[in-house]
Amino acid sequence: MASTSTAPPIKRAWWKESSVYQIYPASFKDSNGDGIGDIPGIISELDYIKNLGVDIVWLSPILQSPQVDMGYDISNYYEIHPPYGTLRDVDALIEGLHARGLKYVMDLVTNHTSDQHEWFKQAISSPQNPYRNWYIWKKPKYDADGTPQPPNNWRSHFGGSAWTLDPQSNEYYLHLYAKEQPDLNWDNPDVRAEVHRIVRHWLDKGVDGFRIDVINFISKDPAFPDAPITDPSQKWQDGSKYYACGPKLHDYLRELGSILKEYDAFSVGEMPCVSDPAEILKAVGFDRGELSMVFHFEIMDIDHPPNADKYLPYPFTLPTLKRLVSKWQTFMHDNSGWNALYIENHDQGRSISRLTLPHNNTTTPRTITPHHRTLAGQMLATFLALQSGTPFIYQGQELGMINVSPHWTIHDFRDIEILNHWQELCERYPNDNNVVQERALREYRLKSRDNARTPMQWDASEPWAGFIMPATAATNESGGGVKPWIGIHEDYKEWNAARQVGDEKSVYGYWKRVLGVRKAWGDIFVYGDYGLVDGGDERVFVYKREIRGGDGDGQGVRGGIAVVVLNFWEGEVEWVVPGDEDDNGMGEAVRRVLEGGKVVLGNYEGQRIETGKGKVVLRPLEAFVVVLAEGE
């Protein structure tokens, strides 16, 4: 088989060949009947995770925290939040994971702490306190009446100003998130030394790496200038230009990277507010000595209006998704970078509810017909996990969980982001503006973070789907009356783990197969290049992965081409294979694979590939993968 690939030599790494399962501890499994998931609950499901076929488990924060932002506000980096368990439980968790050949990735949240952290308590106690300079303090500006005003116009990610006044010292402190999450001053070497100590402490305890929260916000422009007015309807503006990827970021990342390297540790940094892959490459370039990979937000922001409130409607088209995916795929591959692949996590709506093209695509709620839901979850699994990069699966994604129901009112939401947004909205439109409020609620049910935070659905048992473990639900003090901290999805009788594990045709069973295919054809899917086929089609997403085989550089590469065919629409589609000259000769390669290759995965039986007629007939949400190995 002739190959057109001009890929650079491959650079192997264990974390490239792995996939990651993310756990949101509060919503995973509650072992003691208090309505909050916990570490013993996680330990009780390690076989479930192992059986899925992932390699790494990442837990959202479990350290001591007042939980203003669900643990992303840490008050002690060396202790566990008591409702989640104890340090002993963490030891047992690490042991249980390692015994199964799984690695443990911990969430490292050090752009900010909780305002209840001892460092901040000290810092706010007096400008002379040695911890004062661990945070970021500025003198007020004054308005015409002499009232103190924040030092600049930056907006907090949770609404309002990013500055809060400490009346005692008449100075403002910076918090890019809630006022209870003051930003640490990374320009202070003592802060960095302490972060390094925390990192070493946990690595020495057996942690295998870190997911690092908003890591590109740690270096701010020291002049703290006003942000440009990008949303004239708002008082406070997006200041990310002055704090995302700031002047010292890569110095600080190299310091961290050298520690991670000593331990051969995994790292994935979270980097919001960046759309230039060259900027992210500085952190993930293979020889940069910084991070393994980064979560960018360009794909997940696809349904957010640019420079405006994220909770305004903003429909997207499939060609836009293709353009964004292809941009990151091609750039990272061609420049020896690496992608972290995700379409769900604890900050995003569920992908079936958000990224597919239901019949009622133009209206909200966008809903896939229930009997198509399994297909949708399977199609998206194929889409995600066979791209170039490390796939991340968020708890419940492997079961095809979907967004909260249309019956959710504002009283059902728990997330600080939504509650603040709602308050601002009601202040702005005080006369109970139903149209605005209803629109906001619809958008919350589509994009808000709580969509992903409803409890895991383990089985069909009433009333809490096995999330609260049965023995304790029956015996806790209130006789089983405790409720989960956030509402459970009412579809749990049909959509739960017990029904899916062991069923090859379920979403869970299919995820196992996808991850198996990714491993079986590792050189193609992990290290191959990526090519988009037919970028303009509004319903069908087709991409090609290819690697040239041989012993070049002594790497023993098993060459071949794979074609991944995905119908994002819930109707039947006839996809016309591009002509030989189209897409830089891609049509010719695709035709060759479809004709001569082997179908290695599909969510329907019997694919309708009619290359003689130049077409493929795809059923609703159909996905399949054809591989043509070199020499076959």
Task: Give whichever of 69 and 398 is closer to ligand NOJ, judged by the CB atom.
Answer: 69
Task: Give whichever of 117 and 346 is closer to ligand NOJ, judged by the CB atom.
Answer: 346
Kindly identify the residues of this chain, within the stretch 461-520, that bind ligand NOJ according to CB under 6 A. Answer: none
Task: Give whichever of 211 and 591 is closer to ligand NOJ, judged by the CB atom.
Answer: 211
Among 15, 21, 28, 72, binds ligand NOJ (CB under 6 A): 72
Give the tokens for residue 359: 């019949």
CA dihedral of residues 618, 377, 312, 329 (deg, nearest 10): -80
Kindly identify the residues of this chain, within the stretch 256-285, that bind ligand NOJ according to CB under 6 A. Answer: 270
Task: Give whichever of 114 and 500 is closer to ligand NOJ, judged by the CB atom.
Answer: 114
77 near ligand NOJ, rule: CB under 6 A = no
Task: Give whichever of 28 and 177 is closer to ligand NOJ, judged by the CB atom.
Answer: 177
Q: Closest approach of Cβ 299 to ligand NOJ, in Å?
A: 16
Quick check: is 303 catalytic? no
Q: Closest approach of Cβ 67 to ligand NOJ, in Å?
A: 11
Task: Give whichever of 72 and 495 is closer to ligand NOJ, judged by the CB atom.
Answer: 72
Q: Which of 69, 213, 347, 537 is catalytic?
A: 213
Q: Closest approach of Cβ 368 to ligand NOJ, in Å?
A: 26
Taking alpha carbons only, the member of 585, 610, 617 closest to residue 595 is: 610
Taking alpha carbons only, the member of 350, 609, 614, 595 closest to residue 491 is: 350
347 near ligand NOJ, rule: CB under 6 A = yes
180 near ligand NOJ, rule: CB under 6 A = no
Q: Closest approach of Cβ 112 to ligand NOJ, in Å?
A: 7
Q: Closest approach of Cβ 213 to ligand NOJ, in Å?
A: 5
Are 93 and 43 within 8 A, CB to CB?
Answer: yes
Instruction: Specify the residue for token string 């993930």.
Output: 284
Site string for ligand NOJ, 23-62 (x = CB under 6 A): ----------------------------------------
392 near ligand NOJ, rule: CB under 6 A = no
Residue nearest to ligand NOJ (CB): 72
Q: Closest approach of Cβ 517 to ligand NOJ, in Å?
A: 30
Number of amino acids touching ligand NOJ (CB under 6 A): 9
109 near ligand NOJ, rule: CB under 6 A = yes
As a whole number of angstroms, the distance between CA 294 and CA 301 comes to 16
Give the tokens for residue 504: 């090859």
Angle 323-327-329 (CA atoms, 0-180°, nearest 5)? 115
Q: Which of 38, 107, 180, 270 is catalytic?
A: 270
Task: Give whichever of 7 and 302 is closer to ligand NOJ, judged by the CB atom.
Answer: 302
Are 451 and 403 within 8 A, CB to CB?
Answer: yes
- Rg of the chain, C-alpha, whole Å: 25
Quick check: is 459 catalytic? no
214 near ligand NOJ, rule: CB under 6 A = yes
CB-based contacts of 576-584 (< 8 A; 24+ apart in sequence): 576/614, 576/615, 577/611, 577/614, 577/615, 577/616, 578/533, 578/534, 582/534, 583/531, 583/532, 583/533, 583/534, 583/535, 584/531
Q: Closest approach of Cβ 218 to ligand NOJ, in Å?
A: 12
As a whole number of angstroms, the distance between CA 531 and CA 286 comes to 21
Are 230 and 307 within 8 A, CB to CB?
Answer: yes
186 near ligand NOJ, rule: CB under 6 A = no
Q: Which helix (H) or strand (E) holds 77?
A: strand 76-80
Task: Give whichever of 70 and 601 is closer to ligand NOJ, judged by the CB atom.
Answer: 70
69 near ligand NOJ, rule: CB under 6 A = yes
Task: Give whichever of 155 and 548 is closer to ligand NOJ, judged by the CB atom.
Answer: 155
As a whole number of angstroms, the distance between CA 492 and CA 468 comes to 13
Taking alpha carbons only, the member of 142, 373, 158 closest to residue 150 is: 142
Task: Give whichever of 347 and 443 is closer to ligand NOJ, judged by the CB atom.
Answer: 347
Q: Closest approach of Cβ 293 to ligand NOJ, in Å?
A: 16
Q: Closest approach of Cβ 242 to ligand NOJ, in Å?
A: 18
Cβ-Cβ contacts under 8 Å for 121 (sequence gap 6 or more):
115
Kindly identify the residues of this chain, within the stretch 562-601, that bind ligand NOJ according to CB under 6 A. Answer: none
Name residue 562's beta-bridge partners: 545, 627
213 near ligand NOJ, rule: CB under 6 A = yes
Q: Closest approach of Cβ 181 to ligand NOJ, in Å?
A: 7
Instruction: Specify the residue for token string 């019997």.
Output: 606
Kindly identify the residues of this chain, within the stretch 79-98, that bind ligand NOJ according to CB under 6 A. Answer: none
DSSP state, 562?
E
Angle 22-385-263 (CA atoms, 0-180°, nearest 5)? 55
CB atoms under 10 Å from CB of 505, counted, come to: 11
Give the tokens for residue 532: 């988009």
As a whole number of angstroms, the distance between CA 279 and CA 253 comes to 13
Could you list the active site residues? 213, 270
Binding site for ligand NOJ (CB under 6 A): 69, 72, 109, 177, 213-214, 270, 346-347
